[in-house]
Chains A and B, each alone.
Chain A
């Protein structure tokens, strides 16, 4: 059952990811990204990581996509904006992508990845919190400096002087 769900979610993830980068309509691209994030959240739920799944939906699918939609609406380009590509010859892009994908596929398939059974549902969030606030306390704190720097920088660059 969960294996079937996993394949369905993964297929959605791949298809919508392709849609994000291939569509020429900016609005469609954002909506496809929304579907990608929802599928990712689904995979987190399958792994019993319900906290990560909820965060993925709340923060990424919810907040970030809506923000991007606002940007699309507020910029002069508007939702009708068509993306155009120029520059790199397409041939090379395809060859490189195929080679890169082939290499990744080979690496991923040729290895016996160490796997663990999903932890019991009740423990996942607790374990996550324990590790986040003990072992990874410093990265957690520095991440707040990172967000502050990004916030201040965004305001500085975007505001009219």
Chain B
């Protein structure tokens, strides 16, 4: 029996992370019993090592293990985004874990790395089976992380809701895959496309694609599969919420793009219409329901539904320029959203404080640095200059106009204006309302570090977006 050839260089980042995750569990058990900060540093170092092994692969277009593992700029772009998000979330987690005295620290970081591995595989495969396994690895790890705050009833509620609804979404997606496999007899996407060419009776495949789309819509938190988002985002530990709002979303968008553009370009006219409907519904429902929220995690949850809507505009346009915009958007969204969550964490870190918008009252007097940076993130999330948030929206909407979908771009712009209302509300609280105490807010160095990194990135990309745009265009080549 000829064993398959494995290119270990291509799989380096995933192998390093797997080894690191296993080591984390062991080291926590025998040597660094509950040494929260050491374990966090170890996790971050593993992620940095994985990133260092990913970067040199740029320029390679290849596959290993019979195309189950693909290496191309598209995959590498997503891997870097996911690795960066995971590293920042680990840095944010250390102080949260210390404050709330969460148990099983080593396992926390290990499971976070497992989720990261799942996402990286999702972004780097063209095989339905591998997409499914990567997705399940991500989802199961995320369920566990959402319930990590065991003494908090809200966290228990979050994990239960997330788990039950997530299972239905996964089952629906798998059911869709079974239709596709049943009709074509293939699991690899380009072979599926070949098998479909010139075939009759594609209704079965259309049903299969529809079901898998429903599953992905759940994972990216798009309307009409968004009901779980606010409860889970509110209940999960805040660093986990930050992770959920960027990581699984990015990976699911990557897998979705591969399925649609490689496997089912022949159905483009159908799924484009679906995406237009989903994009409009997500933008409006997300933004309008974000306005009355008083809990900032719930507000950011609805805002994340709206952001999924903006990204889906890119999928509805489905041109190479639009996909470049999507990649740009996702990278920038990761930076600004994690930055915003870092400040939410910093504000809630004080004893007696919480996740309410009212906790931000008078922040400008107590912590001017946090107030200014939060303003930057809110402006960026609304998509205003001079921040990076502008460029993601600009390139997606520009692609929409080029393809004649100017009205969709117009609806997107209208939604940016709506979103400004609730983002500006946070700024109003920070600058124009009186603080509850006059004491300056004490912020752990880790939170400040992440805020510095993300705010500098958001501003620098805002002024000099060319390198990132260039990278997105290269990575999106062939999609659309």
Contacts and interface: CB of A to CB of B under 8 A. Distances in A.
A133 interface: yes
Interface of B: 1-4, 18, 25, 65-66, 68-69, 103-104, 107-108, 110-111, 114-115, 117-118, 121, 127, 129-130, 133-134, 136-137, 140-141, 143-144, 147-148, 150, 159, 179, 182-183, 185, 201, 203-204, 207
Contacts of B117: 142, 145
A161 B103 contact: yes
A135 interface: yes
Interface in A128-160: 130, 133-139, 142-143, 145-146, 148-150, 152-153, 156-157, 159
Contacts of A118: none
Contact of B133 (A104, A110, A142): A142
A138 B141 contact: no
B203 A111 contact: yes
Interface of A: 103-104, 107-108, 110-114, 130, 133-139, 142-143, 145-146, 148-150, 152-153, 156-157, 159, 161
B130 A149 contact: no
A39 B9 CA distance: 45
Contacts of A159: 104
B203 A135 contact: no
Q: Which of B2, B143, B150 has the most CB of A within 10 A?
A: B150
Contacts of A153: 107, 111, 140-141, 143-144
A161 B18 contact: no
A147 B159 CA distance: 18
A130 B143 CA distance: 34
A152 B111 contact: yes
Contacts of A148: 114
Q: Main secondary structure on chain B at its contact with chain A?
A: helix
Top 6 A-B pairs ranked by shortest CB distance? A153-B144, A161-B103, A149-B114, A156-B104, A111-B201, A146-B137
A157 B114 contact: no
B104 A111 contact: no
A142 B185 CA distance: 23
Contacts of B2: 134
A11 B277 CA distance: 39
Given A139-B127, A152-B25, A157-B144, A107 B204 contact: yes
A138 B111 contact: no
Contacts of B66: 134-135
Given A149-B144, A156-B111, A156-B144, 19 more contacts: A107-B179, A107-B207, A108-B204, A112-B201, A133-B1, A134-B4, A137-B65, A138-B65, A138-B68, A138-B130, A139-B127, A142-B134, A145-B18, A145-B117, A146-B136, A153-B107, A153-B140, A153-B141, A157-B150
A149 B111 contact: yes
Given A134-B66, A161-B103, A143 B183 contact: no
A136 B186 CA distance: 12
B1 A149 contact: no
A48 B179 CA distance: 21
B204 A111 contact: yes
Contacts of A134: 1-4, 66
